[in-house]
Structure 1
C-alpha cells in the first residue's frame, strides 16, 4: 500500500476571514463595552470624595455611615436604571442592532458627563439613574451584534474577546483615577465618561446591520418578543438564565464595587497616607481587571471543550471561594492588604464568568427575539442586584464592617451550582436563525 505525501499531511482548518464591516463592528462594540465598564467603575472609585462634598450641600453630615448609606442607595438607583434597560431589547429586534447600540452609548455618555455638574446628591442620583439605563442596554446589544455578525466558527471566541472590554474599562478607570482623579478630583473623572459619544457616532456611520437580523426582519411576522420569551417555548430557559445572571451580577457588584473601599480601608490601617491609599486602590483595581480579562479569554475554549454548564459551574465555584478568601478572611488579617490584593486577582479571573453569557444566551434564542431575551435576562438580574446592594449597604451600616456582608454573597454562587443543571446545554450547536 502506498502512502502519499497527501496522506501524511495534516489537514489544517482555516477560520472564516472577517470582512471590514465585521471588524469595524466588533471594535465599535468592544470600545462601547470598554467605555461602559469604565463608566460603571468611575462611580465606585469616586464614591467617597463625591459624597463627602455633596452630602453637606444636601443637608446631611458627611459621616462614614452616611457616606456608606448614601452610596448604597445611589448604587441601587443606578442598578434600577440598569434594570429598566430591557426597553432597548425590543427596539433592537424591531429597528436593528447598530442603531440602538449607538443610542445606548450616547445615553450613558451624556449623562455620565452631566454627573460632573451635580450640586447635590439628588442631581447625582438622577444622572446616574439615566446613565444606568444606557449602560445596561450596551451589553445586550453588543453581545447580540457580535453573535450574529461574526461567522459561526469565530463567534464563540468573539464573545470572550468582547467581554474583555468591560474589564479593560475597569483598568482604564483605575488608570484615570490614578492620574486625573488624584490631581483634579471626582468631577473630572465623570467628564471623561462623556468620551463614548464619539464611539456612538462612528457606530452609526460605519457599521452595517448583521445579515442574520436583515434576513429575519425581511421574513418576520410581527410578534411581541417579550411575550414570546415568557411563553411556553422559551419560558424555562428565560427564567433559568435570569437566575444565573442575577447571581453573577450580585458577585460583580459585591466584589468589584466594594473592592476600592476595602483596599482603601486596609491601606489606611497599614499606615498609608490618603493619596497613597487611593493609588493603592487604583493599582488593586488594575490587577482585578487583568485577572478578569484572562478569565474571559480562557472561558470560550473551556466551554467548547467541556460544555457551557460545567464551565459556569467551575467559575461559580471559583467566585464563591475567592469572595470568602478576600472579604471573609484576608480583610480581617492584621496585615491583610497584600493577601487581600492577591485574592483579588483570583476573584477577577472567575469574574470572567460573564463572558459565558455573551456566548451562551444568543445560542438559546432565535434571531427575532434574541436581543429582547438578552436584555430582559440581564435587566432582571440588575433589579434583584439593586435590592441586594441596598441590603448590603444596610448590613455594612448595622454591622460596622465591610467584609462579612460582602463575604456572605458567596452563598449566591453556591445556590447557582444547583440551578445550572436546569439550563440547556448548547455545546456544538449553531446559532439558531
Structure 2
C-alpha cells in the first residue's frame, strides 16, 4: 500500500522531459532576453558620463539639470522605439516565431554598437530609438515562443525562468560597468551591446519553429490579428492588459533607470570619489538584479497557488511601498546611501512582476493572434510611458530633485490595484490553441 502511494506520488511529480529543440530554443530566447536587458541597462549606467561628454558637443552645458532633462528625452525616444516594436508581432504571427525573434536581436545589437560612435546627443538619440524598436520586440517573441514550445506542465515555470534573463542582463551590465566602463568609458560599454548578433545567428540556425504555430498556420483563415484582438472576443482583456503593462513599465524608472543616478548622487554626497561612486552604483545594480531574479522565480508558484490576479496585486502593492521607501524616504536621509540600497532589494524583488505577464498574456490569446496581442499590449505601455517619462524629467528639472518625482510613480501601482479585478483569471487553464 505504501509502495503504491509512493509510486503514484512520483508519477504525479514527474515533469514532462524537454527535447533538444525545446532546450535550445529556451536558451536562445533566454540569452536574447539577457542581452536585451543588458542593452537596456547599459544606457542607464552610462547616462551621466555619455551626456557629460556629448552635451557640450551639441551646444549645451553639461549641468546636472541638463543631463537629467536630456537623459529623460533620450529615454522617451527609446520608449517610442519600444512602442513601434509592435510591428514584430504581426510579422511573427505570419512568418513564425524564430525568424522574427532573430530579427529583433539583430536590430538592437547593431544599433547599440553604433551608439559607441555617437558625436552628439542627436546621433545617440537616433541609435537608441532604432535599438528600442528591436529591444521592444524581443520580449513578446521570446515569451510567445517559450509558452508555445514548452509542455503544459512546465511552461508556467518556464515563464519565470525566461524573465530572469532580463535581470541577469542588468547584472551583466553592472559587472561590465564595474570592470570595463570605469576603465575604458561609455563608448566601450555600448560596443559590448553588439555581442547579441552571435545569439541571433544561433537562434536562426538552431531553433525549430513551434508546433502550435505550425498547426495554426496550416489551418488558419487569413484575418487581421490586430482587428481580431480589438474585436468583441478580446477587446476587454486587450485593454486591461495594456493598462496593467503600462503601470509596470512606469515602475521601471524607479527600479532601473533612475537607480544608478540616485546611488551616484548619494555616494558623492557621502564623500566618495567619482570612480568609487560609479562602482557603488554598479554593486547596487547587481543587488537589484539578484533581488529581481528571486522575485521572478518566486512568482510562478505563487500564481499557481493563489491565482494570477492576486499575485499581481501582491507585487504591485510591494512596488508601491518600495518606491516610496527608497526614493521618497531613504533618498532624503542625511546618511541615506545604506538605507536606499537596502530598499533596492525590496524594490528589485517586487520588480519581478514582469514575469507574470510572460506567463499570463499567452494564456489569454489563441495562437493565431498571440504574438500580435503580446506585442501590442507591451507597445501600448511603452508609448504612454514615453510621455510619462518626459513629464518625469520635466518634474526633476523643475523641482531640482530626483527623489520626489520618482516616488510619485508609486501612485500608478495603487491605481493598478483597482484595475486588476477586470482582468481574466486563467489559473488552471491550458494554453489555448
Task: For residue 286 of structure 1, report the CA deviation from its aligned partner.
Answer: 0.2
Does the residue aligned with 2:2 lie in a helix, a strand or coil? coil
Task: For residue 263 of structure 1, report the CA deviation from its aligned partner.
Answer: 0.2
Q: Which residue number in structure 2 is paired with residue 278 of structure 1? A: 278
Change (3 A) 1:4 1:192: closer
Change (3 A) 1:362 1:3: closer
2: CA distance between counterparts of 1:336 and 1:49? 23
Task: For residue 12 of structure 1, report the CA deviation from its aligned partner.
Answer: 3.9
2: CA distance between counterparts of 1:3 and 1:113? 60
2: CA distance between counterparts of 1:66 and 1:313? 37
Change (3 A) 1:2 1:99: closer
Change (3 A) 1:333 1:98: same
Task: For residue 4 of structure 1, report the CA deviation from its aligned partner.
Answer: 7.3
Q: How many residues align?
A: 433
1:190-241, CA deviations, whole angstroms, 9 ceiling, x for partnerless residues?
0000000000000000000000000000000000000110111100000000
Change (3 A) 1:17 1:274: same
2: CA distance between counterparts of 1:123 and 1:3? 69
2: CA distance between counterparts of 1:6 and 1:330? 52
2: CA distance between counterparts of 1:164 and 1:431? 22
2: CA distance between counterparts of 1:3 and 1:37? 48
1: CA distance between counterparts of 2:153 and 2:360? 15
Change (3 A) 1:367 1:275: same
Task: For residue 259 of structure 1, report the CA deviation from its aligned partner.
Answer: 0.1
1: CA distance between counterparts of 2:192 and 2:141? 23
Change (3 A) 1:84 1:8: closer
Change (3 A) 1:7 1:398: closer
Q: Residue 254 of structure 1 contacts residue 389 of structure 1 at CA under 8 Å; is this kept in 2?
A: no
Q: Residue 36 of structure 1 contacts residue 166 of structure 1 at CA under 8 Å; is this kept in 2?
A: yes
Task: For residue 61 of structure 1, report the CA deviation from its aligned partner.
Answer: 1.0
Does the residue aligned with 1:12 lie in a helix, a strand or coil? helix
Q: Residue 228 of structure 1 contacts residue 234 of structure 1 at CA under 8 Å; is this kept in 2?
A: yes
Does the residue aligned with 2:12 lie in a helix, a strand or coil? coil
Q: Which residue number in structure 2 is paired with residue 397 of structure 1? A: 397
Q: Residue 79 of structure 1 contacts residue 132 of structure 1 at CA under 8 Å; is this kept in 2?
A: yes
Change (3 A) 1:239 1:265: same
Task: For residue 255 of structure 1, report the CA deviation from its aligned partner.
Answer: 2.5
Q: Residue 255 of structure 1 contacts residue 406 of structure 1 at CA under 8 Å; is this kept in 2?
A: no
1:11-32, CA deviations, whole angstroms, 9 ceiling, x for partnerless residues?
5431110000000000000000
Aligned-residue CA RMSD in angstroms? 1.4
Change (3 A) 1:401 1:197: same
1: CA distance between counterparts of 2:235 and 2:11? 43
TM-score by length of 2: 0.98
2: CA distance between counterparts of 1:275 and 1:86? 39
Provide structure 2 residue ranges, at least 5 long, that are not aligned to the other structure: none
Q: Which residue number in structure 2 is paired with residue 388 of structure 1? A: 388
Does the residue aligned with 2:84 lie in a helix, a strand or coil? helix
Q: Which residue number in structure 1 is paired with residue 19 of structure 2? A: 19
1: CA distance between counterparts of 2:330 and 2:5? 60
1: CA distance between counterparts of 2:8 and 2:169? 47
1:241-264, CA deviations, whole angstroms, 9 ceiling, x for partnerless residues?
000000000001232100000000
1:284-331, CA deviations, whole angstroms, 9 ceiling, x for partnerless residues?
000000000000000000000000000000000000000000000000
TM-score by length of 1: 0.98
Task: For residue 8 of structure 1, report the CA deviation from its aligned partner.
Answer: 9.1
Change (3 A) 1:219 1:184: same
2: CA distance between counterparts of 1:250 and 1:75? 12
2: CA distance between counterparts of 1:180 and 1:204? 30
Change (3 A) 1:4 1:420: closer
Task: For residue 65 of structure 1, report the CA deviation from its aligned partner.
Answer: 1.0
Change (3 A) 1:334 1:99: same
2: CA distance between counterparts of 1:303 and 1:5? 28
Q: Residue 144 of structure 1 contacts residue 370 of structure 1 at CA under 8 Å; is this kept in 2?
A: yes
1:127 maps onto 2:131 in alignment: no
Q: Residue 304 of structure 1 contacts residue 428 of structure 1 at CA under 8 Å; is this kept in 2?
A: yes
Task: For residue 279 of structure 1, report the CA deviation from its aligned partner.
Answer: 0.2
